[in-house]
């Protein structure tokens, strides 16, 4: 088996960037909490940080869905509606999958 040097350097570079991003986040948070004085994040900072995963997910999912057809857009709308009303993410995802599968099977669009 031959290892391509470009591929190996690419993988090592990606690993280094991933590691640096994670370590940089921990380093930055340690400096922020140290400046706050009590050694932990303020409630306001914790509230802000708790919204980051959802914002990242939305920034990845919405453009991908909007570049698809109307079936996917309607499934996204159903998912958001069920998540908002039922406050159950599993049920919301199931609703989105059912809507997109039904619309594709019926060949509505």
Q: Are residues 65 and 106 in the same domain?
A: yes
Q: Are residues 59 and 43 in the same domain?
A: no
Q: Are residues 64 and 46 in the same domain?
A: no
Question: Once rounded to an integer, what is the mean pLDDT over residues 41-67?
Answer: 86
pLDDT in tens, 1-48: 788 999 999 999 999 999 999 999 888 888 777 766 666 777 888 888
Q: Does the pLDDT value for residue 84 go beyond 90?
A: yes
Q: Are residues 31 and 67 in the same domain?
A: no
Question: Once rounded to an integer, what is the mean pLDDT over residues 61-79?
Answer: 92
Q: What is the mean pLDDT of the chain?
A: 89
Q: Are residues 103 and 76 in the same domain?
A: yes
Cβ–Cβ < 8 Å for 74, 104: no
Q: Are residues 40 and 59 in the same domain?
A: no
Our count of domains for the chain comes to: 2
Q: Please, which residues have CB within 8 angstroms of residue 43's CB and are 6 or more apart in sequence? A: none
Q: Are residues 66 and 27 in the same domain?
A: no
Range of the domain at 84: 51-109
Residue 41, pLDDT score: 74
What percent of the chain is predicted at pLDDT more than 90?
57
């Amino acid at each position: 088996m031959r290892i391509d040097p470009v591929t190996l350097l690419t993988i090592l570079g990606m690993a280094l960037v991933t590691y640096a991003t994670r370590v940089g986040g921990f380093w930055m948070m340690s400096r922020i909490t140290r400046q706050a004085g009590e050694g932990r994040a303020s409630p306001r900072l914790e509230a802000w940080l708790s919204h980051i995963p959802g914002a990242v997910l939305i920034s990845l999912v919405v453009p991908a869905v909007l570049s698809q057809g109307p079936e996917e857009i309607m499934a996204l709308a159903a998912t958001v509606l069920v998540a908002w009303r039922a406050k159950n993410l599993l049920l919301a995802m199931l609703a989105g999958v059912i809507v997109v599968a039904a619309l594709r099977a019926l060949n509505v669009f």
